[in-house]
Amino acid sequence: MSRSIAYTSSPLLASRTPLWRSKFIVAAIALGSVGLIARAAYIQVVANDFFLKQGQVRFGRTLAMPANRGRILDRNGLILASSIAAPSIWAIPEDVERDPARLRQLAKLLEMPMTELDKRLADEDKTFVWLKRQVDDSVAKQITALQLKGIYQRKEYKRQYPEGEASAHVVGFTNVEDKGQEGIELAFNKDLAGRAGSRRVIKNRLGQVVEAVGEQIEPVDGRDLQLSIDSKIQFFAYQKLRDAVLLHKAKAGSVVVLDVVSGEVLALANYPSYSPAKRRNLSGAQLRNRALTDTFEPGSTMKPFVIALALEKGLVKPTTPIQTAPGRISIGRSTISDSHPHGVLTVSEVIQKSSNVGTVKLAMQMQPREMWSMYNQVGFGQKPSVPFPGAVSGRLRAYKTWRPIEQATMSYGYGLSSSLFQLAHAYSVFGRDGELVPVTMLKSSGRAAGVQVIDARHARAVRNMLHMATGPGGTAPKAQTMGYSVGGKTGTAHKQEGRGYADKKYRGFFVGLAPIEQPRIVVAVMIDEPGDGKYFGGEVAAPVFSETVQQTLKMLGIQPDVSVIPQIVAQAEEESF
């Protein structure tokens, strides 16, 4: 039997609690509840902007949806540049699982020392760090197989360049963000890049997508670009240029091939070059697109323009005799000489023998303004109309500042400067019967409309003189091409050094066209600072022209116009420069 308890006898229970205290407690609880409800309503309904923003900062993410960069194609549809999927590896350092064995495997797959990986994972930003951008797909799969917590991948694209160093200076390259940095990749970056898309998502602290929110913007892929370049002609021209630079122990070289009918650039190559996909430890010499960015005094390649102007003005005919004896001429206190005395030469032979004296005698019969106008009309002193970054205008001073000696030296290519591309473009005047053809790097069709600069008869007359320069008694017999008639002009110039000229440093160049009766192409070649004792343009540049012309015309389907027998004459006339 349980013992009975007398609760009423307890002093605590027997005490009388004031009624106001109970009411106060109930009122306090009610008031607190009302306050909490009001605060919740305020946060969630009235003033939720701040908290929504904080939630978005912590958990909301805008995921980029990269657009696929457009391809760069040659004129025949062969790929010069394209994009492939290349995942990038990133991490949330504070979440990375510290498993030494698997971390060592990760470092090995990323091709980085373990110390470097540790350094990146110790980064101040504990929520995001790049480990390596654009790895191969096979590497990405092996990293996934490691199942390391805190290691993630992002889809990106990497450019491939199948033609490598042969087309490097034309195509250029992109950076790790897939933005063009050089060449066509830079010039047409907006067209190639397209427009990236995006989508808004909610992520948890592990970086996993929990929910998609907002509207998704689909990416717009970049458009493909088809160039005028023929990759086969480009590769062959580059190969022959490289061989010549190495053979003559030269510093560098460039070659340009133009279609004078359509105005298309069929090839543009430089040596030394580089591989766009492997750009570590590159030098400025490798990256420079010399055909467009380097200027030089064009030497004797300017003489045909002076002769064309003399024909235009009616001063001479191709058969007009000019006395060049005793092989030198004085202008003021300066003396201009030929390589050796020639005596009486016709105007045609002035080009064939590359006589400085004969050219100067014709030039000094003209006004400086007339010579300047001729040079300007064929593009000297003007930036080429191709969208290449770094293309230069060269230097052509205002005719009002010319002194007599300067007018004389400019007639044979000293005192002004030009790029090789400008020189090739200017010679299209002789290939198009006096028309200057507009040039393009994009594929086009049909005959381009040119601007008439000189009379067609005079252009053909100069073309015949250029043909003589590549024949017996000319300065460039090594420019002759088996199966095709050619014409062109050699140039050899001392390199400028400081305020004067270097004694033993030269540039040798050759610019010509083929076939001679109905020209289809202009080819310009420059060899910079040959070091094997040969430096005349007819020796170092003309052979590259010859081989490039033969291969190019075959690829274009142009039928041979002369007997397919060896045409080359071994002995060349020594050039005056």
Q: How many CA atoms lie within 13 A of 168 on its CB side?
A: 21
Q: Is the peptide bond before 162 cis (omega within 30 degrees of 0)?
A: no
Task: Single out the residue of 525, 303, 327 nearest to residue 413, CA to CA.
Answer: 303
CB 174, CB 181: distance < 8 Å = yes
Which residue type is seen at 73?
L
Task: Please tell me the total number of residues recorded for the chain in this structure.
Answer: 577
Q: Of all helices (H) and strands (E), which one includes residue 484?
A: none
> What gap in Å lies between CA 563 and CA 544, rounded to an integer?
21
Strand-pair partners of 321: 346
Catalytic (active site) residue 444: no
Q: Quick one: tokens of 316?
A: 């001479």
DSSP string, 57-118: HHHEEEEEEPPPPPPEE-TTS-EEEEEEE--EEEE-GGG----HHHHHHHHHHTT--HHHHH
- Distance (Å, whole) CA 415 – CA 127: 62
Phi, psi torsion values for 251, nearest 5 degrees = -75, -40
CA atoms of 189 and 191, how far apart (whole Å):
6
Per DSSP, 460 falls in state H
Give the Cβ contact number of residue 233 at 10 Å: 24
Torsion of CA 457, 463, 467, 468, to 10 degrees: 60
**Cis before residue 321, ω within 30 degrees of 0?**
no
Round to whole Å and give the CA distance between 577 and 573: 12
Cβ neighbours of residue 407 closer than 8 Å, sequence gap 6 or more: 363, 364, 368, 371
Q: Is the dihedral of CA 451, 459, 548, 276 positive or negative?
A: negative
Measured over the CA atoms of residue 553, residue 558, residue 561 and residue 565, the dihedral's sign is positive
Nearest partner of 518 among 551, 458, 547, 559, judged by Cα:
559
Half-sphere exposure of 554 (CA within 13 A, CB side): 13
Question: Could you give the CA distance from residue 189 to residue 193 in angstroms, rounded to a whole number?
Answer: 6
Q: Which of 300, 411, 418, 485 is catalytic?
A: 300
> Active-site residue numbers?
300
